[in-house]
Structure 1
Amino acid sequence: VSINLTILPAMLFYFFEFPSYSLLLNLFVIPLMSAMLFLGLLGSAAYAAGFPIAVFGLKICKAILWFYEKCCEIGMGIPRARMIAGKPRLWQIAAYYILLAAALVFLRRLRRKEKKKASGMETAGRIRIIPLLALAAGIFILTFRFGEAGRLSVTILDVGQGDGIFIQGPAGGTYLIDGGSSDIKKVGQYRIEPFLKSRGVGKLDYVLISHGDSDHINGVADLIERRRIGIEIGTLVLPMREVWDEALCSLADMAGRAGIQVAAIGPGQGIQEKDMSLSCIQPAKGDDILPGNEASMVLSLSSGKFDMLLTGDVEGDGEELLTERLTRKEQARTWEVLKVAHHGSGNSTSELFLQGVQPAFAIISAGEQNSYGHPHQETLSRLKERGTQIYSTQDKGAVMIEVKDGKMTIY
């Protein structure tokens, strides 16, 4: 207990989670550790010296390691096996250690008083609650996510050459729009999952996929495969079934086998959370567009006077349809932020499209020194001519937008 209380801030700071049953598991692990180390060293030395009998000692080590692994597997199968609290700030760690030290000092003084005056045991028993309360307060301060209530945050993750957008709603809802990369291996395991855990997110309520390109979905496939030890997914949301390609069909099948609900979304449908709405603009039934980039799911994110347009990789006929829809239905709307389509490709974000959207800020998700040359200079020139301020993940890393009390801030 003492060791775990002491290292808890370090565990959360570096790994963002704490194994709930580690105390119980260590009752089995620690007693066998000395035996395993002794037999391992002795067996290795004996084997090197040419004594075949050493193999028996090494086999015992193998059995102990197998036992350890099975204990961990059983532990992970128990509900609430992990406490994902996120990465604490330095002031939270300092406050925790101050309260922990205060609790220990108080307990020590109380113990001295109990030894001096046995008749004070009843009073001391009541006073003993104080250090427990101090410890509880320290754990609360260490694990609580301060400043997130009532705030909308959007993070365009640095996933290299790909897309990954995390949204946390004002009531705590969690949403991931796309998640993939063409130049970072296992981007779901090594980029998306650690980020989510650092934010204290153990479950994504919704994962929305714009289209089936691998640089938008391979990280989500990682998350589905690792859901038991990583991040759970509530519902996978895909575009209208008419535009599904082989990749989207495979992802939907994979999610279904994993017990994840799969839904399709079309124009007029969306998700509402307090004053935040995440709505689908296209594709719609009857749209004469091909599966893939043209048929990318386009979403609008709104909260109060804040509006953000999320375009996936839409281009060609899909962008022409989008421009027409925005001009016809959304002409009174002002778009504060545009997530630029197709990583800033010159084949998208046309002059006519920008004339209809007129974004104040544009965010481009692209990999550093990517082989496609994204973002293309013609796209950047069109944005700059409009006076749009540009942020790119290849230059800035992850870009976070916060909206609270009617004020938008970009980090």
Structure 2
Amino acid sequence: MSNGAYARRGHLARVVAAVILMVTLLGLPSGCGALAVGPATAEPPPSGALVLSFIDVGQGGSTLVQSGGESFLIDAGRPEEGPEVVDFLRSRGVEELDGLVVTHPDADHIGGVPEVLGAMPVQEVYVSDRSPGGSLEAAFLEAVEEEEAELTEVGAGDELVWGASEITVLSPPEGGFSEDNDNSVATLIEHGPDPETGRVLLTGDAEARAEEYMSQGPETGPLAVLKVGHHGSSTSTTPLFLSRFRPQVAVISVGEDNGYGHPTPQTLRRLRTVGSEVFRTDEQGDVIVTLHEGELEVAVSGDG
């Protein structure tokens, strides 16, 4: 496969265009930066960089995290998206995963995971201990057992190291919440020497109750990148949450013309109010974010 193309579904058979947002984070206020144009390639991550690939899986979620020579996947979309996720991973040079996080057992997050587990070695699988179960989760657990991956339950306060990045699990707390979405595993990634320029928050489908809990915790502060919760639903990305975390870049993983109205006008308006630059997989395809030496670069695979 050439570096300038992804061997994926028809509308991503080749990269049509890329927009790169260069934000010099050091010394600049949130939202500042210059807009440039360049190719979205499948080159390996630069040395010392944190690279997050928000994969276009339609109405679902799947994010590849690459740091310090290690690769981690968070969710894998619906069952039918599993092969596309595997193709994307391989296009980024990933033949083995150091870890895989299942934020919660909804079909649009856990469905493609068995395909990934069957396609490549996975060292460790992270899950919440607040899982409600179900047939999809049963298939997932069977795949974990077959592939002999280590299964680890995580919750608020747990700390991990992914390559050159430090991970703090912000939610769910012990005892969890009454709503399944709020029990999504939420991970804060911190990369580089300056915490103001290397913080990324990924919250699965967490909604208002989980966001309130995270907003009252010790890890609040500006973010370089936020993966917007629950595909841009109005029940997530609350004003309180945004006031405590204030992302420079917000990525919404969402399906084109989905039947839920995601992302909602309320969510987009809230993000504009705090000055976030918004990227959407339904309009721009795969969204690839690179944090490296105080700079933030966003490349997209579509022309939206």
**In the alignment, is residue 213 of structure 1 matched against residue 106 of structure 2?**
yes
Matches of 1:354 and 1:204 in 2, distance apart? 32
Offset at 1:281?
Answer: 0.8
* CA distance 1:291–1:200, change in 2 (3 Å): same
Equivalent residue, structure 2, for 1:173? 70
Would the aligned equivalents of 1:211 and 1:248 in 2 still touch at CA under 8 Å?
A: no
Whether the aligned pair in 2 keeps the contact of 1:186 and 1:222 (CA below 8 Å) is: no
User: Which one has a larger percent strand, Structure 1 or Structure 2?
Assistant: 2
1:291 Cα offset (Å)? 5.2
Please give the residue correspondences for 1:273-352 in structure 2 after superposition, counting only pairs within 5 Å: 273=162, 275-287=164-176, 289-290=177-178, 292-304=180-192, 305-325=197-217, 329-331=218-220, 333-352=221-240
Q: Matched residues, percent identical?
A: 31
Letter in 2 for 1:205: D
Change (3 A) 1:219 1:273: closer
Q: CA deviation at 1:296?
A: 0.8
Q: Find the counterpart in structure 1 of residue 81 from structure 2.
A: 187
Deviates more, 1:266-275 or 1:207-216: 266-275
Structure 1 residues 291, 245: CA separation in 2 closer, same or farther (over 3 Å shift)? farther
Q: Secondary structure at the match of 1:322?
A: helix
Judged with a 3 Å threshold, the aligned counterparts in structure 2 of structure 1 residues 317 and 198 are, in CA distance, closer, same or farther, namely same
Aligned counterpart, 1:51: none
Q: Distance in 2 between matches of 1:379 and 1:269?
A: 29
1:146 and 1:167 map into 2 onto residues whose CA distance is 12
- Is 1:367 the counterpart of 2:276? The answer is no
Q: Distance in 2 between matches of 1:15 and 1:337?
A: 27
Once residues 44 and 270 of structure 2 are traced to their aligned partners in structure 1, the CA distance between those partners, rounded to angstroms, is 40
Q: 1:12-411 alignment to 2 at 5 Å?
A: 148-169=46-67, 171-181=68-78, 186-189=80-83, 191-224=84-117, 227=118, 230-239=119-128, 241-246=129-134, 247-248=136-137, 250-273=139-162, 275-287=164-176, 289-290=177-178, 292-304=180-192, 305-325=197-217, 329-331=218-220, 333-411=221-299
Deviations 1:362-395 (A, max 9, x none): 1100011111111111111111122211111111
Q: Distance in 2 between matches of 1:314 and 1:401?
A: 22
Aligned-pair CA distance for 1:14 = 8.2
Give the match for residue 30 of structure 2.
none
CA contact (8 A) 1:294 1:313 kept: yes
* Aligned residues of 1:156 and 1:166 also touching (Cα < 8 A): yes
Give the distance between the partners of 2:44 and 2:186, measured in 1 at CA: 32
Q: Deviations over 1:314-333 (max 9, x none)?
A: 114222222222xxx124x3
Partner of 1:29: none
Letter in 2 for 1:319: E
Could you state the TM-score of these two structures normalised by the residue count of structure 2?
0.79
**Which structure 1 segments of 5+ residues have no match?**
1-8, 17-144
Rounded Cα–Cα distance in structure 1 between residues aligned with 2:162 and 2:52: 14
Give structure 1 regions of 4+ aligned residues with deviation exceeding 6 angstroms: 13-16
* SS in structure 1 of the partner of residue 190 of structure 2: strand
2:12 corresponding residue in structure 1: none
Q: Which secondary structure does the structure 1 equivalent of 2:181 belong to?
A: coil
Instruction: Measure, in 1, the Cα distance between the counterparts of 2:257 and 2:6.
Output: 29
Q: Aligned letter for 2:66?
A: Q
SS in 2 for 1:312: coil
**Deviations 1:165-219, CA, capped at 9 Å, x for gaps:** 00111x21010001113xxx62111x11111111121111100011110000111
Secondary structure, aligned partner of 1:337: strand
**CA deviation after TM superposition for structure 1 residue 252, in Å:** 2.5
Alignment gaps of 5+ in structure 2: 9-42, 300-304
Partner of 1:163, secondary structure, is coil
Q: Is the 8 A contact 1:351 1:382 kept in 2?
A: yes
CA-atom RMSD, angstroms?
2.3
- Greater relative contact order (Cα < 8 A, sep 6+): 2
| Compared CA separation, residues 202 and 324, structure 1 to 2 (3 A) | same
CA distance in 2, matches of 1:339, 1:268: 20
The offset of 1:250, in angstroms, is 4.7
